[in-house]
Amino acid sequence: MNTVYPTLITNDLRSELSKAIGGHPANDIYVLTDTTTQQECLPYLYSCGLSDECRVITVAAGDANKNIAAAVQVWEYLSSHGATRKSLLINLGGGMITDLGGFAASTFKRGIRYLNIPTSLLGAVDAATGGKTGVNLMGLKNEIGVFNPADRVLIDVHFFKSLDAHNLRSGYAEMVKHALIDTQAEWKEILAFNLEEVDFDRLRVLVERSVRIKERVVEQDPTEKNIRKALNLGHTFGHAFETFSHRIGQPALHGYAVMWGLLCELYLSFVQHQFPKEELLRLNYMMKENYGKLEFGCADYEVLYELMTHDKKNDEGFVNFTLLSGIGQIQLNCTADKELIFETLDFYLNT
Ligand code: GLY
């Protein structure tokens, strides 16, 4: 497997796009968008020199449409328009599009080249890099997929300027996670950033650093046998909160659920691995200021616990976590029982 992940964070998409395309014939370039990015992001790509002879494939927006039917739509379009093993697919969108397009490209004729151009902060710092591709099946997230990195990931902060405050914060939560698994210096920088008045030049610098953290982890363990599990920090509680929020009709963005999950998993880290209390309280303060809290009560603990036990990363009877014994001190394959998980939910509600 190719373990080089050439993600470029650029102010000059025109020139980087041209280099990435490298003279490939325009009528053999396929651009995958969803209905939203076709309207809102594709014109910018044309303004950066993308030829209007490129063929555009548009699928319905939203994670509910990240399914095998959408992959079939992409495969059928490619096949019926004469795409070959040499064709190029450009995925323009958030995580739904880069996951779907990466999967469709990786499997069409046993694999064609693809580029990711993420249009959300969340997509840029998470889904677009690292080579995880896939679609959902029967309500199970990313049930079908392959590891296969994009040829190039081109990140242009321009796209983030039109994101609303919630989507910006959602992406930022994954940057918080990257800093926590990295160094005290990164953690300090991430805490200092003002999400109320976003300085996009500064954000660009932080995005670059965040993506490099992810790349360094993925490079050591592309297929998540070991250290890549560090990227799951916050996600065991986080996925349960996310699913629960949808069930109660108050759907939370992924990054919000991750931020709430980070607080819980740093609490577990504090209890089990002496993670410093002052850092736990710093995260709590930052979370309350910027993300608020998911509303639930003790009566919901059983449901949340059930959601955690259904996570495919679990062994029998215990829920698996990645925890920290300090900033950047990763503890893989940790477990917690029901009693400790309930205690953690108490902490979340009462802190
Ligand atoms: N989203 C975590 C990873 O790519 O491994």
CA dihedral 222, 92, 251, 317 (to 10 degrees): -10
The reported pLDDT for the residue numbered 5 is 53
**Ligand 1 atom nearest to 218, measured from its CA:** 5
Whether residue 170 lies inside any domain: the answer is no
Q: How far apart are CA 24 and CA 21, in angstroms?
A: 6
| Residue-range definition of the domain harbouring residue 314 | 181-350
> Looking at the structure, do residues 255 and 335 belong to the same domain, yes or no?
yes
Residues 84 and 189 in one domain: no
Same domain, 26 and 106: yes
Please check whether residue 344 is in contact with residue 264, taking contact to mean a CB–CB distance below 8 angstroms. Answer: yes
Domain count for the chain: 2
Q: Tell whether the model's pLDDT for residue 327 goes beyond 80.
A: yes
Average pLDDT of the residues of the chain:
95
Decide if 148 is inside a domain. Answer: yes
Q: Do 106 and 211 sit in the same domain of this protein? A: no
pTM for this structure?
0.95
Domain boundary among 114, 133, 162: 162
345 shares a domain with 284: yes
| Ligand 1: centre distance to CA 126 (Å) | 6
From the CA of 220, how far away is ligand 1's center (Å)?
13
Q: How confident is the model at residue 317 (pLDDT cuts 50, 70, 90)?
A: low
Cα–Cα distance, 207 to 217 (Å, whole number)? 16
Q: CA 225, CA 350: separation in Å to the nearest integer? A: 36
Residue 14 to residue 8: CA distance in whole angstroms? 13
Q: Are residues 156 and 198 in the same domain?
A: no
Instruction: List the helix and strand counts (H, then E) for the chain.
Output: 14, 10
Whether 311 has a pLDDT exceeding 70, the answer reads no
Q: Tell which one of 148, 224, 227, 242 to mutate to probe ligand 1, the residue whose CB is within 8 A of the most ligand atoms.
A: 224
Lowest mean pLDDT among 271-285, 311-325, 326-340: 311-325
Query: Residue 117: is its pLDDT beyond 80?
Result: yes
Whether residues 149 and 226 share a domain: the answer is no
Give me the residues paired with residue 154 across strands. 8
Domain final residue pick, 162, 193, 225: 162
Across residues 210-226, what is the average pLDDT? 96
Q: How sure is the predictor about 256, in pLDDT bands with cuts at 50, 70 and 90?
A: very high
Tell me: pLDDT of 66 over 90. Answer: yes
Share of the chain above pLDDT 90, in %: 94
Indicate the residue among 162, 192, 220 that finishes a domain.
162
Query: What is the model's pLDDT at position 2?
Result: 47
Q: Is the pLDDT of residue 230 over 60?
A: yes
Instruction: Please write the tens of the pLDDT for every residue from 123-154.
Output: 999 999 999 999 999 988 999 999 999 999 99
Binned at pLDDT 50, 70 and 90, residue 282 comes out as: very high
First vs last Cα of the chain: how many Å apart? 45
User: Which value, in Å, is the radius of gyration of the alpha carbons in the chain?
Assistant: 20
Q: Assess whether 102 and 232 both reside in one domain.
A: no
305 plus 338 within the same structural domain: yes
Ligand 1 centroid distance, CA of 218 (Å): 8
Q: Mean pLDDT, to the nearest integer, of 107-118?
A: 98
Do 228 and 344 sit in the same domain of this protein?
Answer: yes
My answer on whether 137 and 218 are in the same domain is no
Say whether both 191 and 143 belong to one domain: no
Assess if residue 49 is contained within a domain. Answer: yes
Q: Which atom of ligand 1 is nearest to the CA of 130?
A: 4
Is residue 221 assigned to a domain?
yes
Tell me the mean pLDDT in the region 257-281: 98
